[in-house]
Amino acid sequence: GINAPTSQSLLNYILLALVYGGILLYRRQPLTTKWYYYLILGIIDVEANYIVVKSYQYTSLTSVMLLDCWSIPCVIVLTWIFLKTKYGFRKFFGVGVCVAGLILVVFSDVHASDRAKGPKPLKGDLLVIVGSMLYACSNVTEEYLVKKNNRIELMAMLGIFGAVISGIQISILEREELHSIKWNAGAVFPFIGFALAMFLFYSTVPTVLKICGATMLNLSLLTSDMWAVLIRIFAYHEKVDWMYFVAFACTAGGLLVYSYRSSKEADDTAQVTGASDEQSRVGDEESGIQNQVRSSFAGGNDDQVSYKELPSNGSPSKN
């Protein structure tokens, strides 16, 4: 009976700001990305969380979980345009199968009337789809930032701006709702549990994005659907329409098709990863050598540098 979507996410952003912001201050490193990029990311992420949590008031738990797969085609389009990620026919086919499952979920929510599905299932489903699009924008932006910068800075700045934006939004939209809540154990513990779960999730996402990318992250998150069905059956004692199982089969099939790799593709990926790691290591070594050279010349005297004449062209060379 508590309607405070933004308030649910506020504690998560505060935890991110305190933990990772503290690490960032301890390291005393300057920001590698302009602050307003993190502001934009914070707005997108806060509104994505708000819309998806809001949708639970109108549609069923399982619908929300399955409709999240709409973020997958959105991620593919965004990574293809902005990150220049290449996709083959098999991957597009796998995504198409996942989307087919999404269509089945929407159709099931509209036509089924013999089970608890929320007061306005179609509105709830549309909210989830919009939220999934925002999640896709957030994931792709995070993938770009985490591969360009570091995870600590990303989480710290997302937490700071997310907390500020959430605080402003709560003061406008949810102030009266918070006053009306009876803050007993039944209200406090779910807030804390949700915040801790989201904090652990947010802390893990940048690592997954750096290793696998935004598309594979969203595909892997579809495995949460099986938990949603079990929770709905055993915890809430609700009926599950048969189309959900067909939709889940489509989603699982699409995930398998997308994630399948031939041996040649696996070898190519390993070679690219190895080359990237080697290039990063060489770049770090070169940067360290350059810093040592600058320090030696900055702290040394001119008379410590000797010259000799080359007989070929008479140009001096330093020893």
**Tokens at 304, concatenated:** 């410590």
Residue 162 near residue 46 (C-beta atoms within 8 A): yes
pLDDT at 110: 63
Residue with tokens 């973020």: 71
Residue 240 belongs to a domain = yes
Spatial distance between the Cα atoms of 52 and 67, rounded to a whole number of angstroms: 10
Domain presence at residue 303: no
Kindly state whether residue 295 falls inside one of the protein's structural domains.
Answer: no
Q: What is the pLDDT of residue 49?
A: 92
What is the domain count for the chain?
Answer: 1
Q: What is the pLDDT of residue 148?
A: 85
Give strand pairing partners of 143.
none
Which mean pLDDT values do the consecutive 10-residue runs of the chain (319 residues) have? 88 96 92 93 95 88 76 89 87 84 72 62 90 94 89 95 96 90 89 94 93 84 73 81 81 82 50 45 47 48 44 47
Distances (CA, A) of 65 to 62, 129, 227, 231: 5, 11, 9, 12
Q: Which pLDDT does position 136 carry in this prediction?
A: 94
Range of the domain at 145: 5-172+197-272
Does residue 279 lie in a domain region?
Answer: no
Residue 284 belongs to some domain of the structure: no
What is the CB neighbour count within 10 angstroms for residue 36? 9
* 38 belongs to a structural domain: yes
Residue 286: predicted pLDDT? 47
| C-alpha to C-alpha distance for 231 and 118, rounded to whole angstroms | 16
Please tell me whether the overall predicted TM-score, pTM, comes out greater than 0.75 for this model.
no
- Residue 121, domain member (yes or no): yes
DSSP at 254? H
Q: What per-residue confidence (pLDDT) applies to 238?
A: 78
Residue 159 within any structural domain of the chain: yes
Give pLDDT, residue 112: 60
206's tokens: 């940048």
Question: Three-state SS across 145-208?
Answer: HHHHCCHHHHHHHHHHHHHHHHHHHHHHHHHHHHHHCCCCHHHHHHHHHHHHHHHHHHHHHHHH
